[in-house]
Structure 1
Amino acid sequence: MTAERELEGRFALVTGAARGIGAAVVTALAERGARVLATDTATATATKSAGDGDRVVHRTLDVTDAAAVERVVAEAEDRLGPLDIAVNVAGILRTAPVVDLDDADWAAVFAVNTDGVFHVSRAVARRMTGRGRGSIVTVASNAAGVPRSGMAAYAASKAAAVMFTKCLGLEVAAQGVRCNTVSPGSTLTDMQRSLWADAPGGAEAGRRAVVEGDPAAYRTGIPLRRIAEPSDVAEAVAFLVSDRARHITMHDLYVDGGATLRA
């Protein structure tokens, strides 16, 4: 079977699917033949791509609501079939120095980036283990492995999501379920662009600083000299959920152009 159709007959759930990396993941899986349940919050779901086609079904889902996650997963399996793939992409960013970070922002970041991963992964793993197959991928961040100024909540939440996914992978490996993470660096998404909004010199200066590095912020640049496109991350996800990665589990795949020097 060619890579273009390697997911034919499989059913995938993707969270955070309305834009950015999530939308790119939906496209990558659907192009490879999978049927995809694309979920996001109510407002974001309304922005779904008109070109999704018959392979993609959209549903509203707030991953912070454990009961809602259970309902959507159960409904999907009842009406559309067993889930073979789940990809946790939903995430939010709140930036501030720790001394200025308020409780609400800290809680909100963990509610989506960590609790959401737990809710979705638990719901699908319960079903996948009973069938003896499945693949779960969590999109984390290279910030989970390298400290970032002003991003303590985000980095900590993503680090927790990485370790959670590895622990889950260990627990379900004997039942044929694989669990991996993809950790992007700077990627051209709305979240990334929001970091440039107030950059000295404007957005273009902010973009250059990402590629070239910013010693004042203790950041190296990107050795490959480019910022990732969402499709770069989606390709890594598509590989990990495919049979080409059938002997890979509990792995954290960095997709950051070498920005962290794999520290």
Structure 2
Amino acid sequence: MNTQPATRPAFQDRHILVTGAASGIGAAVARQLLAQGARVSAVDLDETGLQRLHAQAPHRAASSRLEDASGHLWTARLDVRDSAQVEQVVAKAQAALGPLDGLASVAGILEMGEVVDLDDAQWQHCFDVNATGVFHVCRAVARRLRERRAGAIVTVSSNAAATPRAGMAAYAASKAAVTQFSRCLGLELAPYGIRVNIVSPGSTDTAMQQAMWAQGSSRAAVIQGDPSRWRLGIPLDKIATPEEIAAAVLFLLSDQASHITLHDLRVDGGATLDQG
């Protein structure tokens, strides 16, 4: 007879806000959190993707409308570039599912092009979403976590934040800003018992990556690397799945990482030789 006590799900009844939750890594984070007992507030600009997440979620109720709490999941449209909207949505999330215990800041966009060809709008768009948007969301959540003197924040950056990539200056610079911002935030929140960490993925099989392939690259080319562009291949010989990146996010949010803060966890199959 098995006398071992039942294992408590890792995130049982913890409330985590996930940005960029409509697809890719963000959706994978939301699904894995729900599977481990969390209450999840999933936000994104893509309402169709959020409705799909809502329909697939466990513990769902009959309603699939945005901003309806359905069991352990609450969804809402959010433009992270709008600081007032961020504050409103975070407040609504807490009203729907209770005080926040953590944040997975995943929302991000890609603008490609060599510096001499980038226009002002591309550069600004990258920073508005990838850097300023992260600031808006982290600030709103950190204010609430600080009041409770507990919690964890994980921001999703990129291995491009530390390794130069031709044709990706706007993206890489915006992600470098995210990485250093997160470390500074972690220093400020450490006295309150709040941890802040970074996950830096490499090439991952998402819509963003597939858009790059549509511009002349390919899965095989990414794995093999391109010496003419000063880009190494991937030693593990595969592209990451969103679920693999999400697992790293969950680890840093969890109690298993209770003595880890300010850490940048690179998840890229060895593509940058773990240097940066």
* TM-score between the two structures when normalised by the length of structure 2: 0.90
Report the Cα distance in structure 2 between the residues aligned to 1:221 and 1:110, rounded to whole angstroms: 27
Q: Which runs of 5+ in 1 are unaligned?
A: none
Pairing 1:116-127 to 2, within 5 Å after superposition: 116-127=133-144
Question: Cα–Cα, structure 1 residues 217 and 11, in superposed 2: closer, same or farther, change >3 Å?
Answer: same
Which residue of 52, 74, 88 maps to 2:91? Answer: 74
Classify the secondary structure of the residue corresponding to 1:187. coil
Per-residue CA deviation, residues 195-216 of structure 1 (Å, 9 max, x unaligned), is: 11131xxx6xx11111111111
Report the Cα distance in structure 1 between the residues aligned to 2:48 and 2:222, rounded to whole angstroms: 27
Task: Give how far 1:51 is off.
Answer: 1.1
Report the Cα distance in structure 2 between the residues aligned to 1:234 and 1:93, rounded to whole angstroms: 19
Task: Give how far 1:46 is off.
Answer: 4.9
CA contact (8 A) 2:22 2:46 kept: no
Please tell me whether residue 109 in structure 1 is matched to residue 113 in structure 2: no
What amino acid maps onto 2:189 in structure 1? Answer: V
Which residue of 213, 229, 250 maps to 1:238? Answer: 250
Report the Cα distance in structure 1 between the residues aligned to 2:6 and 2:162, rounded to whole angstroms: 34
Aligned twin of 2:32: 28
Please tell me whether residue 207 in structure 1 is matched to residue 214 in structure 2: no
Classify the secondary structure of the residue corresponding to 1:100. coil
Task: Give how far 1:192 is off.
Answer: 0.2
CA contact (8 A) 2:149 2:193 kept: yes
What amino acid maps onto 2:23 in structure 1? Answer: R
CA contact (8 A) 2:11 2:38 kept: yes
Computed over aligned residues only, the root mean square deviation of the Cα atoms, in angstroms, reads 1.4
Which residue of 51, 58, 65 maps to 2:56? Answer: 51
- Aligned pairs, how many? 258
Task: Give how far 1:45 is off.
Answer: 4.1
Task: Give how far 1:28 is off.
Answer: 1.1
Which residue of 168, 184, 190 maps to 2:207? Answer: 190
CA contact (8 A) 2:156 2:200 kept: yes
Classify the secondary structure of the residue corresponding to 1:5. coil
CA contact (8 A) 2:30 2:40 kept: yes
Aligned twin of 1:93: 110
Report the Cα distance in structure 2 between the residues aligned to 1:2 and 1:168, rounded to whole angstroms: 36
Report the Cα distance in structure 2 between the residues aligned to 1:77 and 1:173, rounded to whole angstroms: 23
Please tell me whether residue 37 in structure 1 is matched to residue 41 in structure 2: yes
What amino acid maps onto 2:57 in structure 1? Answer: D
What amino acid maps onto 1:262 in structure 2? Answer: D
Pairing 1:159-198 to 2, within 5 Å after superposition: 159-198=176-215
* TM-score between the two structures when normalised by the length of structure 1: 0.95
More displaced 10-residue stretch of structure 1: 107-116 or 42-51: 42-51
Report the Cα distance in structure 1 between the residues aligned to 2:57 and 2:213, rounded to whole angstroms: 30
